[in-house]
Amino acid sequence: MVTDSAIKTVTLTIDNKSCTVPKGTTILKAAQSIGIDIPTLCYMKELVPDGSCRICVVEIEGGRKGGLVPSCAEHCAEGMVVYTRSQRVVEARKFILDLLLSDHTLECFSCARNGSCKLQEYCLEYGVERTSFRIGKRTPFGKGDTSNRFFEFRPDKCIMCRRCAHVCEKLQGRDVLSIAGRGFDTHISTCYDIARTDPTCESCGNCVSACPTGALSSYDQKRNYRSYEVTSTQTTCPHCAVGCQFNLLTKNGKIVGADPVDGPTNKGLLCVKGKYGSYKFVHSGDRLTTPLIKKDGKFEPATWEEALGLIVNKLTQIKKKEGADAIAGFSCSRSTNEDNYMFQKMMRAAIGTNNVDNCARV
């Protein structure tokens, strides 16, 4: 991109509100900065605009070609007068929704994304209850790709926003998902039509998180919960030391799912463990609920006092007899950074050795 080193600003009016932004800012970002919400489907803030869904259209007074432009791609200009909800804009958005619904299987009641589907949300907002194109070509119903064990793909619910393919290619860097065909027959495909069980696909599920509809949906969500039934609690993924931020979703006091949050280290992405694995052990029946001490070759339940006392005794004995370097500490990568820090501190300060390691090499 050609950029000027000195930051120049432009002042424009959006819905009668004045707004000053750096030159090169898109209308969408300018509107967001003053609290005006514009609907988007294909837009991803981390990437250059795709400009394909056209739902973010806004009207520019006196603009070229009828003045309707996609706000995600159009740059703000000095003196520009923008309307984000004029009658023409609303009609244009309704038309887009009408077209999208004309090739979208409406089975909202059984859909995993019922309540968290952007298409559903916008159709409700703009009063598009059903498509006006009653008869016509449709993507075949229900012929989904169920090759992945964590999620399924239903092309008849896909609105071709391409977010999944962009996440896979540009953010996750796996290039599993791609766009094939053209015209009406354009569809999301895996590269060379490999199955989603192929090792190239890590089942990270970021495509599922990115999908605005139910085209890509987790089996967990499909079977166990809908978005309106759960409470989100933001926390740090316990699986490794990267510190990805995510929301644990709880329903009736049980963790049922995880959604990525835009954290400083993960930028809205998760790996397969974070997305599908890291919360499942919480309610596992195999979990230890009390310390165990081995007596006569068998583990017996013990109290914390007994267990910690035993550890202190043994470590003190070894240190006295063989020196501190006879002891090594190995911590679990599933601990948080803070716990790992405390652990090495204990090894160095209390025990007196630098023999510390961690298995965080995943």
Partner 1 sequence: MALKEPVLLKRVEKMTDPTSVEEFTKYGGFDALKKAVIMDKEAILDELDTAHLRGRGGAAYPLGRKWRHLYGSQNTPKYIVCNADEGEPGTFKDKMLLEKDPLSVIEGMVIAGYVFGSNDGYIYIRGEYRHIQAVFHQAVRNARAAGYLGKNIMGIEGFDYDLHIISGGGAYVCGENSALLNSVEGKTGRPRVKPPHLADVGLYLKPTLVNNVESFACVSAVINMGGEAFLNLGTKDGGGTKLICLSGHIKNPGVYEVELGMPLDEILYSEEYGGGTSTGRPIKFIHFGGQSGPIGTSEQIKDRLYDYGDFWYNKLAIGSGAIVVMDTSVNAIDYMTSVMEFFVHESCGKCTPCRLGTTRLLELFKKFQRHGGKQGDIEKLEKMLEHITNLSACGLGQSVSVSARSALAGYRDEFEACIN
Interaction site with partner 1 (CB under 8 A): 1-2, 48-55, 57, 65-66, 68, 70, 73-75, 91-92, 95-96, 99-100, 102-103, 132-133, 135-137, 159-160, 179, 181-186
Q: How far is the CB of 80 from partner 1 (least distance, A)?
A: 14
Q: Which is nearer to partner 1, 55 or 230 (CB)?
A: 55
Residue 317 near residue 223, CB atoms below 8 Å: no
Q: How far is the CB of 134 from partner 1 (least distance, A)?
A: 10
Residues in the chain: 362
Backbone angles phi, psi at 299, to 5 degrees: -75, 130
Q: How far is the CB of 66 from partner 1 (least distance, A)?
A: 5
Residue 212 near residue 159, CB atoms below 8 Å: yes
Q: Which is nearer to partner 1, 48 or 308 (CB)?
A: 48
Residue 331 near residue 340, CB atoms below 8 Å: yes
Q: Which is nearer to partner 1, 100 or 210 (CB)?
A: 100
Q: How far apart are CA 26 and CA 22, in angstroms?
A: 10
Q: Which is nearer to partner 1, 55 or 177 (CB)?
A: 55
Q: How far is the CB of 353 from partner 1 (least distance, A)?
A: 54
Q: Which is nearer to partner 1, 99 or 106 (CB)?
A: 99
3-class secondary structure, 151: strand
Q: How far is the CB of 120 from partner 1 (least distance, A)?
A: 17
H or E stretch at 219: helix 219-224
Q: How far is the CB of 214 from partner 1 (least distance, A)?
A: 18
Amino acid letter, residue 95: F
Give 139's DSSP letter: P
Q: Which is nearer to partner 1, 65 or 361 (CB)?
A: 65
Q: How far apart are CA 235 and CA 264, in angstroms?
A: 13
Q: Which is it for strands 292-295 and 254-260: parallel, antiparallel or unpaired?
A: unpaired
User: Which of 252, 268, 279, 267 has its CA nearest to residue 334?
Assistant: 279
- Paired strand residues for 58: 69
122 Cβ contact list (under 8 Å, min separation 6): 39, 41, 55, 93, 97, 128
Q: How far is the CB of 102 from partner 1 (least distance, A)?
A: 6
Q: Which is nearer to partner 1, 70 or 214 (CB)?
A: 70
